[in-house]
Amino acid sequence: MHGLGVATTLLAHLAEAAERAGIRTFTATVHPTNHRMANVLRDSGFPVEVTAGPGELSFELPASLDAAAVARFEDRDRVAAVAAVTHVLKPASIAIIGASRRPDTVGAAVLENLIASGYRGALHVVHPVADTVGGVATVRSIAAVPGPVDVAVIAVPAAAVAQVARECGAAGVHALLVLSDGFAEVGGAGVARQAELLETCRASGMRLVGPNCLGVLDTRAGFNATFAPQPSLPGRIVFASRSGAFGILAIAEAARRGHQRRRASPLASVPGPRPLKEPPAAPRGAQPRSTA
């Protein structure tokens, strides 16, 4: 996590809490060999006074954000945001949990699209019984996958998703792409299932896309983790939809028109909750940034 702006982000939020509590000054005692921490304080954007003493450096800084500190926070915020979604948009390894040998299922469609798109990363299929699915050798559990997994694509019944998510968290999976439906959109028990899924992801530090979504694709990277029946052509449009059905129609229409300027790359369908592990809100005085 070094270099991703976590310490600077925490310092900015600490400054906000200090302001509410009426605290005006921060002091920090740092060992002279702790260059990383010293640089965090020096580069934070806060005006810093440093005093050297026997075996220690004493830092004093105001507990408020000036313009320089706000700019530094926003820059680190951007770096942290990019790092947080890299596992989802540019995964080096994918595991599909719920791919079936039946061709008319969501899991089978995702596996077929990943293979057809020419995905170049490590592709794993988790299946409790079959030795191969879609021509890909399987493993019996996510814990048995050799090497790290950036994204686990989950296409199992809603009632089983939370347990699968816990197993993914225990295996060190970085992000979940949950295609399964039967969550908050159906009310009742689905709301409780979604809350349990969110809590599991937060506890394990996993980013979540979904549930009940079409998936994610990036045609430039040869990465199509959707169950859309129509392949998307490479282009210059970044497209996000909270409706999977609209996403499917958009892909089909772009392919029908056949114009490079109308092709989508990448696309994300996020009809469920917002992705987890978003950077904290910017402190007072920071200007919001537009996103695409």
CATH number of the domain within which 119 lies:
3.40.50.720
pLDDT tops 80 at residue 262: no
Decide if 88 contacts 275 (C-beta within 8 A).
yes
Q: From 86, 105, 121, give the residue that closes a domain.
A: 86
Q: Using only C-alpha atoms, what is the Rg of the chain?
A: 23
Residue where one domain finishes, among candidates 86, 118, 135? 86
pLDDT at 6: 67
Does some domain include residue 20? yes
Shared domain for 112 and 176, answered yes or no, is yes
Same domain, 210 and 226: yes
Q: Is residue 105 located within the same domain as residue 203?
A: yes
Among residues of the chain, what percentage have pLDDT more than 90? 43
pLDDT value for 48: 85
**110 has pLDDT over 90:** yes
Question: Does 286 fall in a domain?
Answer: no
Has residue 160 been placed in a domain? yes
Co-location of 60 and 97 in the same domain: no
pLDDT at 263 over 60: no
Tell whether 123 and 166 lie within a shared domain. yes
Residues contacting residue 256 through CB under 8 Å, at least 6 positions apart? none
pLDDT tens, 168-189? 999 999 999 999 999 999 999 9
pLDDT band at residue 265, thresholds of 50, 70 and 90?
A: low
For residues 77 and 102, membership in a common domain is answered with no
Predicted model pTM: 0.68
Answer yes or no: do 120 and 257 share one domain.
yes
Q: Within a 13 Å sphere around the CA of 215, how many CA atoms are in the beta-carbon half?
A: 25
In a domain, 289, yes or no: no
290 pLDDT exceeds 90?
A: no
CA-CA-CA-CA torsion for 200, 206, 209, 211, nearest 10 degrees? -20
Total number of domains in the chain: 2
Length of the chain: 292
Whether residue 234 sits in one domain with residue 164 = yes
Whether residues 194 and 74 share a domain: the answer is no
Is 169 a member of any domain?
A: yes
Examine the domain organization and report whether 94 and 190 are in the same domain. Answer: yes
Asked if 91 and 121 count as a contact pair (C-beta separation under 8 A), the reply is yes
Contact 252, 230 (CB under 8 A): yes
Which residue range is the domain that position 72 belongs to? 6-86
**Pair 109, 64 in one domain:** no
pLDDT tens by residue, 145-166: 999 999 999 999 999 999 999 9
Report the CATH number that the domain containing residue 32 is assigned in CATH: 3.40.630.30
| CA atoms in the 13 A half-sphere facing the CB of 129 | 4
105: in domain: yes
Strands (E), 140-290: 151-154, 175-178, 207-209, 215-218, 223-226, 237-241, 264-269
- pLDDT class of 270 with cuts at 50, 70, 90: low
Please name the residue ranges forming H helices in the chain: 6-20, 35-42, 67-89, 106-116, 158-170, 189-204, 244-257
Let me know if residue 285 belongs to a domain: no
- What is the tens place of the pLDDT at every residue in 127-141? 999 999 999 999 999
Residues 6+ apart with CB under 8 A from 189: none
